[in-house]
Amino acid sequence: MTTLQDTRDLDTPELGDQALAAARALLGMPIRIEQWNNEATRDTIRHYSWGIGDDNPLYSDPDYAAGTRWGSIIAPPTFFFAVFDAVVAPGLEDIQWYYSGIDAEFFQPMKRNDEIKASAEYVEAKKLEGRRVRNMVLQTGEVLYHNQKGELCTRVRSHTFRVARSGASDGLRYEPREKHVYTEAELDAIMTAQLEEFRRGAATLWWDDVQEGEDLPGTVRGPINQMDMTTYYAGAVGTTGYKSTKLKWRYTAWARNDPDKLPNNYDKCYYGAKVLPSIGHQDAKVAQSDLGMPGPYDNGPQRCGMLATVVTNWIGDEGEMLRYSARIKLPVIFGDTHRFAGRVTGKRIEEGAALVDLELWGENQLGQVTITGSATVKLKQR
């Protein structure tokens, strides 16, 4: 079988036998980070929150937030995506990046006017086989987010699939899927579900009242379109790959001629790629013909953030999310609508803390599960 190194001059390189070794050879490399947001300001928090459809006043209204236990605006748990998207997946030039999921721990919220510093380590690479692709490499990075006091706010293990594009013999090939068409009645129901979304807010959810097996109210998002993606990008992912006009060309030139100037030192393969990996989120032709996706698709961290809102809506202002994991299962393309849901799987007292464990998932309008997850939350006890 040909190797990645053998086929770099071809339009579509294979993910060959040597790819895993090439990926593992970079483990432990020093990681430089270019952050999109350096401060958790009133506006950066709001921009991110609105990008996942979360208009919780705890994240955007100073007067409301002042009356909560926090005393001021805080960021939603997944705001770390707006600081740095946590993707640490170096090497493998022109092999496509797909977000796989996260395992996150939250130690304290990021609060208004906190300065956040991210640091990262590339910690794992392994070979996987999927139902649609027989050869993938899964790369994992660990990212820490500290505030200006040096306090750890969030620890994230972020996972990224590397998959050959559709022109390769082992490339990804989904059948194209047309944008879903809804009836007026269906669109009215989708709108109503979002306008009437449950949010506990200032009311207290007592640990004592939670029952194992009970369902969380859930949320609805969509139908997703290009405007949704643009709004999310403005709040969250102006780091890797999302550059415009002069900056786009500057980063491309650095990748080709002087990669040491790139703020993210592992981005040579990203900005130097023949097909910019992120363009599939916008361009139907690239998504289908080059990347093998069913159509232009959503952003994985965006979906992770949307799923987490099921939890934060349910626990209210006084609850805390301690741990959160999510795994992307299927692509979500423009026109898809999501129903995110959750269920209580257990409750316990651990070192004096009243904890609840949750199972989470999201389904598109076709009934397909596109994301799964879990969370552990801390509640007040009577």
284-330: pLDDT as tens digits: 887 887 888 888 889 999 999 999 999 999 999 999 999 999 999 99
pLDDT of 156 > 80? The answer is: yes
Q: How far is CA 27 from the centre of its chain?
A: 22
Range of the domain at 184: 5-379
Residue 213: how many other CB atoms lie within 10 Å: 8
Number of domains in the chain: 1
* Structure confidence by residue, pLDDT tens digits, 44-100: 999 999 999 999 999 999 999 999 999 999 999 999 999 999 999 998 988 888 999
- Count of residues for the chain? 382
Give the integer Cα–Cα distance in Å for 167 and 164: 8
* Strands 96-106 and 320-328, bridge-based pairing: antiparallel
Q: Given a cut of 60, is residue 8 above it in pLDDT? A: no
Q: What percent of the chain clears pLDDT 70, i.e. is strictly above it?
A: 92
Map tokens 């208004």 to a residue: 112
Provide the 3-class DSSP secondary structure of residue 136: strand
Report CA Rg, the chain. 21
| CATH number, position 194 | 3.10.129.10
Nearest to residue 366, comparing CAs of 161, 111, 181? Answer: 181
Place of tokens 């009242």: 209
Task: Flag whether pLDDT at 263 surpasses 90.
Answer: no
What would the pLDDT profile of 179-200 be if each residue is shown by its tens digit?
Answer: 999 999 999 999 999 999 999 9
* 256: helix, strand or coil: helix
Query: 265-288, pLDDT tens digit by residue?
Result: 766 666 766 666 677 787 788 788
List for the chain the helix, strand, coil content (%; round to 5).
Answer: 30, 25, 45
**By C-alpha distance, which of 292, 308, 325 is closest to 174?**
292
Question: What's the one-letter identity of residue 308?
Answer: A
Report how far residue 286's alpha carbon sits from residue 270's, in angstroms, rounded to the nearest whole number. Answer: 16
pLDDT in tens, 93-124: 888 889 999 999 999 999 999 999 999 999 99
